[in-house]
Amino acid sequence: MKPVLFENVRLIDPASSLDRPGRLLVKDGVIAGTDLPQAEGAPEGADIVDGGGHLVLCPGLVDMRVTIGEPGYEYRETVLSAAKAAVAGGITTIAVLPNTSPTIDNPALARLLRARGEETGMIGILPYGALTRECAGKEMAEIGLLAEAGAIAFTDGPHAIADSRTMRQMLTYARGFDALIVQHPEDPSLARGGCATDGELATRLGLPGIPAAAEAILIARDLRLARMTGGRLHFGHVSTAEGLDLIRAAKADGVRVTCDTAPPYFDLNETVIGDFRTYAKLSPPLRAEADRRAVCAALADGTIDAIASDHMPCDADDKRQPFAVASAGGTGLCTLLAVTLAQVHAGNLGMMDALGLLTHRPAGVLRSGAGTLAAGSAADLCLFNPETGWVVRAGELPGKAQNTPFDGRALEGRVLGTWKNGRRVFGTAAA
């Protein structure tokens, strides 16, 4: 493998608080150093990547909430098509939810997904293990065996554990492995049959509503259970002010809790569904503007630990339905970085903080070694121009799934190159 020398780039590594112009050398698939003197020439035969003084080089992004179709729903997305979309967005590591068919509730499937990621040569896959068999919320899956097989954490994906006794048992048992439990924060009985956030807009559109309090109610219950058991708890795609307030207070009280959100919840609000746009039908549903602002504030104050794409592929037939019956979910791999950078351009986040939410902070939650530019670590890298403008167009995105809630959104920030283990896996003519 040829060495790669990056010159005239802005090196940003939130894991070490590095942010400066510099050079980075890759040898044998690992980072050899980030402090090469300008007088030192390139190794013989090295590929030279010149950032022109304005391109940013950061660790490959770590996306901790991704759904793919394989196995069982390959018509929506395959490992390979998801990998192509991921690297186009600068993502080199994805944590994959277990709600496949069959579900990832046995060790063989966890090993298979890891191997499938390696086969692409483009991404690393960190499989979540199912928390319950078939993600049905009843009988506990083989958490210990799944952990030995490489499951990074345990969840039923888009399904909340509804029964309080069951959730308590899960947290208690997982504590013995110091394993992480990831919960979809939505009370199932309150959400049943709904498709939009309950309120004036849903009423005007004639859509069955889900009260925003459904999120806070389940968060409050599970935080109490986490206090009782001492288990590690993570909430995915948190989207309401009330839910975030509960998590903020629990963190201050020493509860072992973390959370993530996804770009739709800080970049869009419920008005986007006003013309029954099924591409904007998500789970949880888009919220009121006050909640969107609260998510932005929680990103800035550190309450939110990570930004995940919440990538949920649907095919056209899943979405070409009346809004109430269309499938919920949106793609997000190739737009993850650019939508996050909108918070930087708006002045809500610094570049270091924004990239931290996409790299070492999710890696830390999952206890993965990814998301750093430290010497000796795998050369998983993302090169991007933070100022390049582009428009999201459904039907023109990399990968198989095209159901983006950001269709037509103008963004600033474009990935120009992605490297996995020192090998370039995505690149444009501009870099």
Q: Catalytic residues, which ones?
A: 310
The whole-angstrom separation of Cα 110 and Cα 227 is: 30
The DSSP call for residue 41 is P
Long-range contacts of 392-396 (CB under 8 A, 24+ apart): 392/335, 394/279
Task: Name the residue with tokens 């013995």.
Answer: 176
Torsion of CA 37, 43, 49, 53, to 10 degrees: 10
Instruction: Let me know how many helices (H) and strands (E) the chain has, helices first.
Output: 14, 19
Bridge partners, 95 (sequence order): 126
Long-range contacts of 148-152 (CB under 8 A, 24+ apart): 148/107, 149/107, 149/108, 149/110, 149/111, 150/110, 150/111, 150/114, 150/126, 151/104, 151/110, 151/127, 152/95, 152/126, 152/127, 152/128, 152/180, 152/366, 152/367, 152/368
